[in-house]
Each structure stands twice: as structure tokens, then as C-alpha cells.
Structure 1
Amino acid sequence: MPTSVPVIRTIAMPADTNPAGDIFGGWLMAQMDLAAGNVAARIARGRCATIAVDQMTFVSPVFVGDEVSFYSEIVKRGRTSIRIRIEAWRRPREGDEMQRVTEATFTFVAIDEDRKPRPLPAD
């Protein structure tokens, strides 16, 4: 169970489903990228670009109406890059029990106005 505050929370809606009626994995990955990007932008104090996503394994499905929460952990901070692990957890609309859905590590690079890598600010 996560002990931190989620970076973002959202509700899975019917528009987020694939043709079989299940929540589309691409939607979930996009939400995770938004969460990681939010953390990266705060650390970089500016614009960042996603350059890599490490392995994603779906361990539990997400259903329409579920509240999905995204939790972050800084894995590594480099000169221009940040690696952020994101975990996704679901809570059924009418319940309290949370279940882990997936996790992945996102790598971002801080970029300047010309979209060139720039150093991260000091802590």
C-alpha cells in the first residue's frame, strides 16, 4: 500500500476503453506519463521531455468508474535527467480496497527553449 500522497488521481471513464470494453493500457500509460512529467517539471523548474519508459507489467485490470491514483518515487537524479518510478493503484467506485495495477520507470531530460538538454537546478 502506498504511504505517500498521490501525484494525480483520475476516474476511468467509458471513453477510456478499448473495443472490448476494458480500460485501454495506452490510457493508463498516458496518465502515468502525466504524473511523472508533473514531478519532473517541479524538480527541473521547467520543461522536460520523456525519453524512456522502462518495463510495464499490468498486474490488475482497471474498470470503468475506478479511481486511479499515481504515486511517484525519484529513482535517480543526474545532471540533466531524472528517473521517476510511478505506481498506479485502483480503487473501485463503491469500495475502499486499493489494488496495485502497474508500475514503470520514466526517464525525463530537462530542456531549454530550444529543446536542448539543460542542467537541473541545484537541490
Structure 2
Amino acid sequence: MTDLERAPILRVIPGPTDINANGHIFGGWVLSQMDIAAGIVASRRARGPVATVAIEAMKFIAPIHLRDLISVYAEVERVGRTSMGVRIEVVAHRDLGATEVKVTEGLFTFVALDANNRPRAVDQG
């Protein structure tokens, strides 16, 4: 699926406070954006609250620059009894949208939570 055929879960522009000593955006800032987007998708699929329990795979491919517009794409890749894996991809749009660069990707695992914050079954439908 191309970027034109799918909608990002989040679109955000990092600010000056998100820059590290090298002039790039902090990896932790990117990770938090990924977790937010994945959490949105996971909670929709679980029809309720979820919690991040693992980051199974994460790869930084290219740096994010100040003034990049970041699109975070996420989709449920697998569903277990109480957990699900969400695949995340982050694309930076540069040069007023003329350039797109895949900057990171990852696989996050979430568990569905009940009213007592204990794992609960995810509807398999």
C-alpha cells in the first residue's frame, strides 16, 4: 500500500525542544509518537483500554529533521487471546512535501485491559 492509499494515524511536526545535540530529533520523541499511534489502533481493535507490553522490533533508518512533517502509520498485524501486535511505520515529509523518507519502523505488542487493569480477551472478530 502506498502512502497515497492509506491514512496516517498521526501527523506531527517536531519542535525545537525535540532536537538532540546532533541537530536531529530525539529517538525517544519518535518512539513516543509511535506508541501513541499504535495505542490508538490497538484500543480501537480491542474496543477498550490497552497497555504497551513490548517493543518486539524497532529500527531507526534515517534521522528526522526539524521542520519535517511526520506521518505515523499503524495497523494491527496479529491478534492473540489478550494481546495484539501493531506494525508502525514513520515517514518524514521534507522540502514542502516534495521528498518522503521512511525514518523508522517497529512492531509493538499491546494487551487489552479490563476495568481492573488486568488482561482481558480480545474479540477475535
Q: Same fold (TM over 0.5)?
A: yes
Shift of 1:65: 0.8
One-letter amino acid of the structure 2 residue matched with residue 76 of structure 1: R
| Partner AA of 1:43 in structure 2 | R
Quick one: which amino acid aligns to residue 116 of structure 1?
R
Once the 2 structures are TM-superposed, how far is the Cα of residue 106 of structure 1 from its aligned partner? Answer: 0.4
The residue that corresponds to 1:113 in the other structure is: 115
Shift of 1:29: 0.5
Taking every aligned residue pair, what percent have the same amino acid on both sides? Answer: 43
Q: Does 102-111 or 65-74 show the bigger shift?
A: 65-74
Unaligned runs of at least 5 residues, structure 2: none
> TM (normalized to structure 2)?
0.91
CA RMSD of superposed structures (Å):
1.3
User: How far is the alpha carbon of 1:17 from its aligned partner?
Assistant: 1.2
The residue type equivalent to 1:88 in the other structure is V
Alignment-derived partner of residue 16 in structure 2: 14
The runs of at least 4 aligned residues of structure 1 exceeding 3 Å deviation read none
**Distance in 2 between residues matched to 1:25 and 1:17, nearest whole Å:** 9
Q: Which protein has the bigger strand share?
A: 2
1:61 paired residue number? 63
> How many Å separate the matches in 1 of 2:29 and 2:94?
18
Aligned length: 123
Q: Which residue of 1 aligns with 2:43?
A: 41
